[in-house]
């Protein structure tokens, strides 16, 4: 344990969940590993929500990112 933040059991638990989840995909390419990790993290963050709310949050997040990019592009133009 370092500064009371992480415990080895928490790390092992997270690693176990990640391995179990990623096994369903056969031959995950290293090129796309970041995408799979982001997807898993998104599922982990919103796992307490109902499926409909998860989809809603995903759509909202996708729109916010696009809007932010658009605003940045407009500001630099």
Mean pLDDT by 10 residues, the chain (77 residues): 71 89 86 85 80 81 63 67
The pLDDT assigned to 69 comes to 61
3-class SS string, the chain: CECCCECHHHHHHHHHHHHHHHCCCCCCCHHHHHHHHHHHHHHHHCCCCCHHHHHHHHHHHHHHHHHHHHHHHHHHC
Q: Is the pTM of this model over 0.85?
A: no
Tracing tokens 């998860």 back to the chain, one arrives at: 54
| Token duo for residue 14 | 């997270």
φ, ψ dihedrals at 2, nearest 5°: -125, 120
């Amino acid at each position: 344990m370092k500064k009371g933040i992480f415990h080895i059991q928490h790390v092992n638990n997270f690693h176990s969940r990640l391995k179990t989840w990623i096994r369903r995909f056969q031959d995950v390419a290293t090129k796309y590993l970041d995408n799979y990790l982001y997807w898993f993290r998104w599922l982990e963050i919103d796992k307490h929500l109902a499926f409909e709310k998860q989809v809603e949050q995903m759509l909202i997040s996708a729109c916010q990112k696009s809007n932010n990019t658009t605003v940045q592009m407009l500001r630099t133009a």
